[in-house]
Structure 1
């Protein structure tokens, strides 16, 4: 096994079991490992530190896996990690109200670059690192052994794969192809999921708890659901008996699927309107038309993919939330989210405070949303805490 030598003074993060080693922290590599090869990380004196995946094309040159020199990272190691991750989520699916969740969450489950989501009898998988790609056959076999899914679909189409020297993939890995719409249940609501063509792995199960929590505030209210995708917040609001709900998304496929989901659940479509539009443009049109709402949901895509984008993203979040605040009736509720890992909750609160100041509004933070239990945050990898949100009362 090739030795990768860490620069002197760069040991702290490794000793604290952070799983990333950046290329600038590496002194030299003894040999020429291929991308995705397992290597041994040693300190400047040659003392063992950890095993990890190597990739010289990525800014994260090493993704660490195991800190015990006497524990081999072999086939059984991968099988154990996959099995542990899957079994730790079993309770989420036990009562029959929900049959979709995240089964493997990358670094949080000690498998950097592997994401596995369960959608009823199908699995959707994303592989974002060359090391996991090299061990894909083992992972697929273990998932089949544990779950016997009807099919496993590889949705590894993220642009980040290019940083690892990998092409994008969109194909069936095992079993049968998923139908155009796979019906899944979340909190006793049914959703049609387009695994092959939908965003990310097909469905945002990270908002499961937040959709349910917010719905309790929507009965009898006029609701606006922005970046609605296939209708998670919309459906929960309709189930609670809203006065009306308008859903806005730029994706025609998302809007079409949302309408099907309303019919699928037997909800009152007369209380719903869907608008395919850029959200920022639509919010400005609502303002021009003098529209007002009691509850607004803002669940935008990732504005800050990295810390270098944080300033620009902060301005975008501020402007988006400022306009939403102007559209709320006095005392109305704004449920606003950020899925940017680079933006922590304190920064997000500051952005909202700036938005309130610019809008001439007073804002109370009355609840803090977070990602659910199937998206755990590893103590040594705080970067895994990406989803945060605030329920705000606006005057």
Structure 2
């Protein structure tokens, strides 16, 4: 039985949490010193002691915990977790029945009723991501719940909750049978090589599924594609399968070369017919301008924050300038796929970054498509910050 304590909400926060806001912040609690051990269950009341909600204490970058229930009688136990899992699987029934897509998000934190907990599905394997020590304290109950309500080959985990917000290296295997890696999964018929036991990343960002599909189906055929901050080259692979004349993948990380070669190879694509470059993206922009290179499609999907020897990149400060660099090497009537996963601003502000770049350069543009999170990345309507992904297909001219 987990320890439970009662804490009082201040008047400013009480109404929001009562209305459905799921995040518990430092500022919402009257006496923060009462919270000592992460994983403790919290009964939230108003100043008069009247019940508002219950949740758990767990520090992560967004806040100090999450609301789990607004029913005073509801117990937060293994059966509670099982009910949440069953509902999440019901919502993804179509994904489980789709042989062309065998990797997707099964459980999306507060969007599925348990903030700080993410579960991804990779062709029979569950990958659990824990975002605080508090939510990690539910591990035994979660694993038991998965055994009770789901069929799987094995369970792996990623701990993402040390004091610097970095991934904690550990043996990622939890239960079931160990996988053989790379595990080849499908996404809209495209193969991707996945590793569940090799550091923080698996080899693909599942939230970009619909964007890759759009590039493959509508923007790639007969085009030259530049994929910047390319990671393992997933956008490039989608473009190549979609009939691109040539793809160029650029990323500073040395391992991106081997990873991108692998992704092309598991799809039977000759990687030597593509360009894969390990270099700073900003240096590549200079190189491309010097060589007068231009591309039909330029993909910009930078990390929210990145640092190299010469550059520090922050999405909120530097995306407009990044956009200007891309415009300079995009063909007239070409398309820039502008993407960000920063949760610190919304789509309106992101569109402002794009508009400022074109206005400063005196150029015209049209936004022809926009994307946010796909349906398996379920978002709590009372927590708009959870819908972090913003992607714009921007046509020049």
- TM-score of the pair, normalised by structure 2: 0.90
Matched with 1:254 is 256
Alignment of 1:314-329 (within 5 A): 314-329=316-331
Q: CA deviation at 1:391?
A: 0.4
SS across alignment from 1:162: coil
Q: Is the 8 A contact 1:57 1:165 kept in 2?
A: no
Report Cα offsets for 1:268-296 as digits up to 9, x if no partner: 43541111122222122211221100011
Alignment partners' CA distance in 1, 2:129 and 2:44: 26
Alignment of 1:204-353 (within 5 A): 204-215=205-216, 216-269=218-271, 271-303=273-305, 313-353=315-355
Alignment of 1:88-107 (within 5 A): 88-107=91-110
Q: CA deviation at 1:171?
A: 2.0
Higher deviation after alignment, 101-110 or 77-86: 77-86
Q: Is the 8 A contact 2:57 2:66 kept in 1?
A: yes
Alignment partners' CA distance in 1, 2:88 and 2:25: 26
Matched with 1:391 is 393
Alignment partners' CA distance in 2, 1:122 and 1:58: 27
Structure 1 residues 264 and 10 mapped into 2: Cα distance closer, same or farther (>3 Å)?
A: closer
Q: CA deviation at 1:106?
A: 0.9
Q: CA deviation at 1:201?
A: 4.8
Q: CA deviation at 1:231?
A: 2.2
- 1:114 matched to 2:117? The reply is yes
Residue-pair matches, total: 387
Alignment partners' CA distance in 2, 1:289 and 1:58: 43
Q: Is the 8 A contact 1:155 1:170 kept in 2?
A: no
Structure 1 residues 30 and 340 mapped into 2: Cα distance closer, same or farther (>3 Å)?
A: closer
Matched with 1:87 is 90
Matched with 2:192 is 191
Alignment partners' CA distance in 1, 2:199 and 2:62: 29
Structure 1 residues 3 and 368 mapped into 2: Cα distance closer, same or farther (>3 Å)?
A: same
- TM-score of the pair, normalised by structure 1: 0.91
Structure 1 residues 212 and 312 mapped into 2: Cα distance closer, same or farther (>3 Å)?
A: closer
Alignment partners' CA distance in 1, 2:23 and 2:109: 12
Alignment partners' CA distance in 2, 1:151 and 1:26: 39
Alignment partners' CA distance in 2, 1:299 and 1:32: 38
Matched with 2:309 is none
Report Cα offsets for 1:83-106 as digits up to 9, x if no partner: 221232121231300100011111
Structure 1 residues 167 and 242 mapped into 2: Cα distance closer, same or farther (>3 Å)?
A: closer
Alignment partners' CA distance in 1, 2:223 and 2:96: 31
Report Cα offsets for 1:156-180 as digits up to 9, x if no partner: 1x3x442799966442111333333
Q: Is the 8 A contact 1:323 1:359 kept in 2?
A: no
Q: Is the 8 A contact 1:18 1:381 kept in 2?
A: yes
Alignment partners' CA distance in 1, 2:61 and 2:244: 48
Structure 1 residues 250 and 194 mapped into 2: Cα distance closer, same or farther (>3 Å)?
A: farther
Alignment partners' CA distance in 2, 1:327 and 1:56: 43
Q: Is the 8 A contact 1:365 1:393 kept in 2?
A: yes
Choose the corresponding residue for 1:364, options 358, 363, 366. 366
Alignment partners' CA distance in 1, 2:234 and 2:212: 7
Q: Is the 8 A contact 1:113 1:128 kept in 2?
A: yes
Q: CA deviation at 1:245?
A: 0.8
Q: Is the 8 A contact 2:52 2:70 kept in 1?
A: yes
Q: Is the 8 A contact 1:368 1:391 kept in 2?
A: yes
Report Cα offsets for 1:315-355 as digits up to 9, x if no partner: 31111111001001111000110100112111011101111
Alignment partners' CA distance in 1, 2:336 and 2:197: 32
SS across alignment from 1:9: helix
Report Cα offsets for 1:138-169 as digits up to 9, x if no partner: 2112223444333211121x3x4427999664
- 1:140 matched to 2:143? The reply is yes
Q: Is the 8 A contact 2:229 2:281 kept in 1?
A: yes
C-alpha RMSD of matched pairs (Å): 2.4
Q: CA deviation at 1:377?
A: 1.4
SS across alignment from 2:377: coil
Query: Which runs of no fewer than 5 residues in structure 2 stay unpaired?
Result: 307-312
Structure 1 residues 192 and 288 mapped into 2: Cα distance closer, same or farther (>3 Å)?
A: same
